[in-house]
Amino acid sequence: EIVLTQSPDTLSLSPGERATLSCRASQSLNRNCLVWYQQKPGQAPRLIIFAISARAPGIPDRFSASGSGTDFTLTINRLEPEDFAVYYCQQCADSLTFGQGTKVEV
């Protein structure tokens, strides 16, 4: 099973700042199947990035992502109040596993 480790666990930032979230896989992903979700309290996760770097429909361009192999990054430029949430990465190269999440808080 591929284990995804996200860092940091919590990111304390202010609106307008940039958030950089990391997701590291325990082994190299042989398919470009790495995605990111946003989850707010009491809600289901929401797809924001698929195929490593493609924004899902309706996701603003302040969200960007990159990576390859075992290291992946989600960047949120100019944080808006609605961006404060928990972010999860998920791989689908070998079964389906999620990271433990990074909380972006004010």
Asked if 37 contacts 48 with a C-beta cutoff of 8 angstroms, the reply is yes
Q: Which long-range contacts (CB under 8 A, 24 or more apart) does 81-85 make?
A: 81/15, 83/19, 83/38, 85/38, 85/39, 85/40
Please give the distance of CA 11 from its chain centroid, rounded to a whole number: 13
Q: Any contact of residue 95 with other proteins (CB under 8 A)?
A: yes
Q: Any contact of residue 59 with other proteins (CB under 8 A)?
A: no
Q: Least distance in Å: CB of 85 to other proteins?
A: 14
Q: Least distance in Å: CB of 96 to other proteins?
A: 4
Stretch of 12-20, 33-41, 62-70, 74-82 lying at the interface with other proteins (CB under 8 A): 33-41
Torsion of CA 84, 91, 46, 59, to 10 degrees: 80
Stretch of 18-26, 67-75, 76-84, 88-96 lying at the interface with other proteins (CB under 8 A): 88-96
Contacts with other proteins, residue ranges (CB under 8 A):
31, 33, 35, 37, 43-47, 50, 56, 88, 90, 92-101
